[in-house]
Homo-oligomer: A and B are copies of this chain.
Amino acid sequence: MSDTASLRPAARRPGRPSDALAGCLVHDLRGKLRQAGLRPTRQRVALGWLLFGKGHRHVTAERLYEEAGSARVPVSLATVYNTLHQFTEAGLLREIAVDGAKTYFDTNLSAHHHFLEDGGDTLVDIPAGQIELGRLPEPPPGMVIERVDVVVRLRRA
């Protein structure tokens, strides 16, 4: 049984390009993983599907674990953590630490920033270009700027 079939068993019908894309996406995903030096195992493909299957998202390990469970793709929490970090190292994800304990992983790799809603629970993208850094400070000697993260904290009006 192929992963494709198990994950997206929809019938092929004209007028719905998503079916064709679905197969394509999984195929791409496997290629992506392989290129990153990661063996495309069932779990990695499944988690990759959940992560990259429907637009950009922010997830915590816990959340992805629950989703995997709901999607009838049982993986252990440890594997979710491992996979998320492997994806991050492979440049497929970005790790963002906004507050306190939880670590979020962002599938959006392009330069952009975040809104943090008051409880610290929800993270929302700020479209690139909507925020503008005038000039950056000079880094201390011997250091280079790797990345700039902006978090806009929100409060209910």
Chain A interface residues (CB < 8 Å from chain B): 97-101, 103, 115, 117-118, 124, 126-127, 130-140, 142-157
Contact = CB atoms under 8 A, between A and B. Distances in A.
27 contacts: A97-B97, A97-B98, A100-B103, A115-B137, A115-B140, A115-B143, A131-B134, A131-B136, A131-B137, A132-B134, A133-B133, A133-B134, A134-B134, A136-B152, A140-B154, A142-B156, A142-B157, A143-B156, A144-B154, A144-B155, A144-B156, A145-B152, A146-B153, A147-B152, A148-B151, A150-B150, A151-B151
A108 to B, nearest CB: 15
Number of identical monomers bound together in the oligomeric complex = 2
5 nearest interchain CB pairs? Answer: A132-B134, A130-B137, A146-B155, A143-B154, A97-B99
A153 B150 CA distance: 11
A148 B140 contact: no
Contact of A137 (B100, B143, B152, B155): B152
B124 A144 contact: no
A137 to B, nearest CB: 4
Contacts of A124: 140
Contacts of A157: 142-144
